[in-house]
Amino acid sequence: MGRESCSLSGCDRPHHARGLCHADYARFAAHGLPFPREAVGAPAGVAPPPERRDASARFRRFLQLNGLGWTAQRIATEMSVSVRTVERYRAAARHPDFSEETVSPMQPPAPDPGAGLDLSDARHREHLARHLLQVAMHLACMVRDEAPEDVAAYLAALSPAEREHLPIILAALVDVDRTEEELLAWITWDAEGRALPGVAAVPAAAAAAVERPRPRALRLPQTTAECPSFGALRRHRANGEKPCDACLRLDADRKHAAYHADASRAPAA
């Protein structure tokens, strides 16, 4: 039987152990280093890991098999998934909002940011009005400068609360003392990009080149911290108010605890 060579350096010294010659083996053992391993394939009889596919492709495969009338166990065996996964896919396919055009087994509906608004609260109404004012101005510029499909896509992306109250803000922006011609004087071209008669021709490309940042998504207003709390204490001081007794006691307790914590960590004299 031929003599094996060292697997680390390929030297012609005789093989000692771990695929290494005696010199390399002693060097790794003396320094406590992990021994290098040869790059070998998987042992015989071990199946390769299953091919991972994205959830949409796996769900499309489920729809094909489910249409054949197969049982859940047979589909699970064919797809190499659990029976519970097949049952979850079937429940998703029976959902009334399911559409095969946008196949996704787990596609939760987008949360409505306006669902938590309390319009009986003046602070919430002011917050929504300030947000919709930015949306209305952006929408007006889109109607003037961009294609109708872009405007429709922007409106579709708004939340139900925004679409419901946006006409109120748009109506409030109209000046009742001005004529229709004066209100539309800022439009200088038609939908095809042609200059309107009687106005200076302004190229649509120049207006489109101005990048207008889209308004931020609607968010709920921050809740007001109630007394006693550190948030309420900061609000008192920011508004130039005298903190209430409960907030002052809370601040005193915090300073007292911090003092004793620092004293306990101080080294002994």
In whole angstroms, how large is the CA radius of gyration of the chain?
35
Predicted local confidence at residue 199, as pLDDT: 60
Q: What is the pLDDT of residue 39?
A: 43
Closest by Cα among 141, 122, 83 to 224: 122
pLDDT of residue 14: 64
Predicted TM-score of the model (pTM): 0.41
What the block records as the tokens of 139 is 């929408």
The pLDDT of residue 111 is 59
pLDDT at position 48 is 59
pLDDT of residue 105: 46
What are the residues whose beta carbons fall under 8 Å from the beta carbon of 21, sequence distance 6 or more?
6, 8, 9, 11, 13, 14, 15
Long-range contacts of 63-67 (CB under 8 A, 24+ apart): 63/93, 63/100, 63/103, 66/90, 66/93
- Specify the residue for token string 């306006």: 114
Per-residue model confidence as pLDDT tens for the chain (269 residues): 444 555 555 566 665 665 667 777 777 666 665 655 554 444 555 555 555 556 677 778 888 887 777 788 888 888 888 888 888 888 777 765 555 555 544 444 455 666 677 778 888 888 888 889 889 988 888 887 777 888 888 888 888 888 888 999 888 888 778 887 777 777 666 666 676 676 655 555 445 445 667 787 777 666 667 788 888 888 888 888 888 888 899 899 888 888 887 777 766 55
What is the pLDDT, as a whole number, of residue 200?
58
Query: What is residue 189's three-state secondary structure?
Result: strand
**What angle in degrees, to the nearest 10, is found between the helix axes of 83-93 and 72-79?**
110
- How long, in residues, is the chain? 269
Distances 235 to 114, 176, 220, 230, 251 between C-alpha atoms, Å: 26, 40, 19, 9, 13
Neighbours of 215 (CB within 10 A): 17
pLDDT at 191: 64
